[in-house]
Structure 1
């Protein structure tokens, strides 16, 4: 909000007829996804929740096929399979007794995660800036959480001490606000199906950070996961470059 204030006050303006886009971002995506994700973790495991969350790219591709008329190509499907397999390997998922309720929460988390791409693209198509979209998405999600679960305890914990405040501020900025801002910016320049697959680098980065900062060992499944996710991104972007060159040549010949 402070950044928007210094940049241009007009960026706070949203049209009443478009309010549903921002409600969708804040409530149907961020708040719904976060609640379902943590419920899934509580009922199953962290690895199961992480893998179910990354059903999101597939959901995005299906929605974009009907809503935005994006083509569902063999290349996209292949990249999707690679990315999902990579997330499974990185998460170290093992097959065991699956809690049905936890499974449903995990799939709902994937749906909520996918809906961010959809509502953000709809807002972008209506001419809104990335900062505006991100600001109202976070604000509405925070207000929704406060209304449902109360404001007192979170506020007390955040402002209980200076270290607590700085930790909360840095966590919100670097693990929530900036990633979503950059992802929304990426949506403005590519198809949402591709963007959703490329965002599967998240568990890969988490694995690499664990190795570098916390001296965690790189397992065979973790290494395979990294290779699979990187391969998915290469598959998507290699096709894009080739098509771009072909389009440029056709324009020049025309």
Structure 2
């Protein structure tokens, strides 16, 4: 079931705070953590590629390189930069809300570039998702004042996040999930390594911190993106993007259980809204598919 792959990917992304908090506490900057994430992910993908022993996995056409520039540079690098910058200029909760405007971006971009239908169901689910994310962010204003530039950059995070769905969907026409993920992090690593030399701090960090660095690359990165790309190959990108919004729900639950964060009733209502949008997409899709199967069976019988 492709919806399950997308939801599992989103849950894996939700665990990112566990690793980022630990690395931030040591003194790594936001972009150094992003660089650690993509470089270690690329290293973890190498044995997978070698084990498969298939040249087709790493064989791509030069004319398709723009797809991986899109997923690696325009999405991974750009969205992370916008996301962390918005966190600094605004509050974390508000930055998260702006990030999850991505389903709206995906629905619109998919209509123009992927020729996907903008159905009433999608529009309704997008509205509920955005409303739910707004409620989650409502009590997270923080101490930062309103910053128009921060707001614009935060919207850029939503756009960058959405671009992975668009470029990833285009790439799935020619390549499988492992190839797309491999070249995504290769491009991202090439773009980040010259500027953020995180390895220069290696002689200062404790041994156990390396496990968090590997974990950051494994759980919310390699595993999450593989699951997401597999699911993306079987459903429309706009639907995948909306299903992926269970990530903030997972992040909030982790914050409550591991970091003793408190949640307001308004934010809990936002979680219910996001879960409702997931149910709308999953349950209705099952019903429609079952109904279509019944109609096809009846048509076969009447021929």
Q: Report how far residue 9 of structure 1 moved.
A: 3.4
- Give the SS at the match of 1:215: coil
- TM-score where L is the length of structure 1: 0.92
Deviations 1:164-184 (A, max 9, x none): 322211111112221111111
C-alpha contact 1:28 1:112 (8 A) present in aligned 2: yes
Q: Report how far residue 108 of structure 1 moved.
A: 0.9
Which residue is 1:157 aligned to? 201
Aligned: 1:177 with 2:209: no
Q: Which has the higher contact order (CA 8 A, sep 6+)?
A: 2
Q: Compared with structure 1, are the counterparts of its residues 79 and 189 closer, same or farther at alpha carbon in structure 2 (3 Å cutoff)? A: same
- Give the SS at the match of 2:193: helix
Output the CA distance in 2 between the equivalents of 1:215 and 1:146: 35
Output the CA distance in 1 between the equivalents of 2:151 and 2:232: 29
Cα root mean square deviation, aligned: 1.8
Output the CA distance in 2 between the equivalents of 1:238 and 1:175: 26
Alignment counterpart, residue 113 of structure 1, candidates 161, 168, 173: 161
Output the CA distance in 1 between the equivalents of 2:237 and 2:202: 35
Q: Report how far residue 111 of structure 1 moved.
A: 0.8
Which residue is 2:127 aligned to? 81
Q: Report how far residue 212 of structure 1 moved.
A: 2.6
Which residue is 1:122 aligned to? 170
Output the CA distance in 1 between the equivalents of 2:167 and 2:68: 7
Alignment counterpart, residue 201 of structure 1, candidates 246, 249, 261: 246
Output the CA distance in 1 between the equivalents of 2:208 and 2:54: 31
Q: Report how far residue 231 of structure 1 moved.
A: 0.3
- Give the SS at the match of 1:125: coil
C-alpha contact 2:71 2:164 (8 A) present in aligned 1: yes
Alignment counterpart, residue 229 of structure 1, candidates 245, 253, 274: 274
In structure 2, runs of 5+ residues without a counterpart are 1-45
In structure 1, runs of 5+ residues without a counterpart are none
Output the CA distance in 2 between the equivalents of 1:198 and 1:213: 24
Which residue is 1:246 aligned to? 291
Q: What is the number of equivalent residue pairs in this alignment?
A: 250
Which residue is 2:32 aligned to? none
Q: Report how far residue 216 of structure 1 moved.
A: 3.1
Q: Report how far residue 42 of structure 1 moved.
A: 1.2
Output the CA distance in 2 between the equivalents of 1:58 and 1:93: 22
Q: Report how far residue 215 of structure 1 moved.
A: 3.5
Aligned: 1:211 with 2:256: yes
Output the CA distance in 2 between the equivalents of 1:181 and 1:221: 33
Aligned: 1:191 with 2:239: no
Q: Compared with structure 1, are the counterparts of its residues 177 and 158 closer, same or farther at alpha carbon in structure 2 (3 Å cutoff)? A: farther
Output the CA distance in 1 between the equivalents of 2:207 and 2:183: 27
- TM-score where L is the length of structure 2: 0.78
